[in-house]
Structure 1
Amino acid sequence: MEDRELIERAREAHQTAHVPYSEYPVGAALETADGSVYTGCNIENANYSNSLHAEGVAVAHAIHDGQTEFVRVAVSSAKRDGVTPCGRCRQTFAEFCDEDFVVLCDEGDGIAEYTLGELLPNTITEDMLD
């Protein structure tokens, strides 16, 4: 799948976001090692700590289907402002992905590309818990 196609899937995903408080819809499209794509949107709650992030929803859908090998993710907001995954979502990706995992961010006319290692250096890993 081309980068632009994955971004388009993320754009489609933010169309169903539930964002009555921030009015900032975000969508994510997560590509797995076998080429499957799982999408997610943000779902807000009046108690903000119970809100779900688009990237986390996409990961949950993939995990539910038994997928644990991820290649890349595309993230888009309705503003197409190049939004990147937040720290919590970056740490979620780090549970399943190495530092070369690709993060594509929708800038409207272009796509910013990062690696997870760039966005989350010195991450907490399972090895650190021993």
Structure 2
Amino acid sequence: MTRAHEEVGDPPAGKYEAPPTPEAAAERVEEALKLMEGRWKLVILFQLFGGRVVRFSEFERAIPGISQKMLAQQLRQLERDGLVTRTVYAEVPPRVEYRLTPWGQSLCPALEGLLRWAAEQPVSAPGRV
């Protein structure tokens, strides 16, 4: 088993330090949200939560409407950003599996909290359908 793109590593080590200003906090959250920006990234991440290992063809079946090109592109970006790891097995035909990195898995509680928050949105809230 080999890992493609070995230059992709874990997030920088260090302790979390609260941003000194509201502007710095907003900037930090904005940077985090940019990691998940894209039409399919959240769908891909939710497919991988819970320690699931998913093959490329499984993504294609699980996400109707996504093209192979777009799926590959979104997976590459998630891998580049350190959220997903790609493992290639030297078999014929080649087998490629994707899973969340520990850092990617640590995103699960935050997104679950956001999902819970969105579900509690009042019916009369603007933009609520």
- Tell me the TM-score normalized by structure 2: 0.27
Q: Which has the higher contact order (CA 8 A, sep 6+)?
A: 2
- Tell me the TM-score normalized by structure 1: 0.27
Of Structure 1 and Structure 2, the greater strand share is in 1
Of Structure 1 and Structure 2, the greater helix share is in 2
